[in-house]
Chains A and B, each alone.
Chain A
Amino acid sequence: EPEVTQTPSHQVTQMGQEVILRCVPISNHLYFYWYRQILGQKVEFLVSFYNNEISEKSEIFDDQFSVERPDGSNFTLKIRSTKLEDSAMYFCASAGQGANEQYFGPGTRLTVT
């Protein structure tokens, strides 16, 4: 069964460093999303992406964040200068035609020290 994959599963970085979180969505999907979940809190929407551009972004998704689909398979989230409060689990999701069901990856746990 097709699935969304994410790498790495766990990333530890120092405050101020850049990180890139990688996702491989399901191959025929067209819509892509990033969400995050701070420990003990609810899952929050960050950004949605379609047709090689951002469709919607939340207030959390400030200038420190960017997304890219560098090739036909990967979807990346970059944080330019990490802060302690960026520590969270980051989930990638994708949806196919019709887009009424999002499939989530297993997440990347980002720890900023």
Chain B
Amino acid sequence: AQSVTQLGSHVSVSEGALVLLRCNYSSSVPPYLFWYVQYPNQGLQLLLKYTTGATLVKGINGFEAEFKKSETSFHLTKPSAHMSDAAEYFCAVSLTRGFQKLVFGTGTRLLVSP
């Protein structure tokens, strides 16, 4: 069975500071990995995904994540936080074969202060 662990239910940063949101996964086979963002009262928007190939993936809004197989991690980073980045961020994993379900982590709420 697959699972996702997101360390830290809340992360607070100052505007302009580095954003680091942690995600570790467990999967019996090489997974597909995703980061989704949820703004208040809105749905889930895909930030970025790792399927195959380059382990450093770039997404929208300046976010990127690196797949590290040896550490079973897929941490999300952004060099400089903006106020508009304040949202809930979900890491998710799926099996690579077929149209598999997404298994989500519990989410991390990012708070950005001026």
Contact = CB atoms under 8 A, between A and B. Distances in A.
Pair from one complex: yes
Interface in B43-73: 43-46, 49, 51
B96 to A, nearest CB: 8
B46 A101 contact: yes
18 contacts: A33-B101, A33-B102, A41-B106, A42-B90, A42-B105, A42-B107, A43-B44, A43-B102, A48-B99, A50-B99, A58-B101, A99-B98, A100-B49, A101-B49, A102-B102, A104-B43, A106-B42, A107-B42
Please tell me the size bucket of the interface on B.
20 to 34
A46 to B, nearest CB: 9
Contact of B101 (A56, A101, A103): A56
Interface centre among A45, A50, A58, A102 (most CB of B within 10 A): A102
Interface of A: 4, 31, 33, 35, 41-45, 48, 50, 55-56, 58, 91, 95, 99-107
A42 B106 contact: yes
Contacts of B51: 100
A58 B32 CA distance: 20
Given A42-B106, A104-B36, A104-B45, 5 more contacts: A42-B107, A44-B104, A45-B103, A58-B101, A107-B43
A45 B2 CA distance: 13
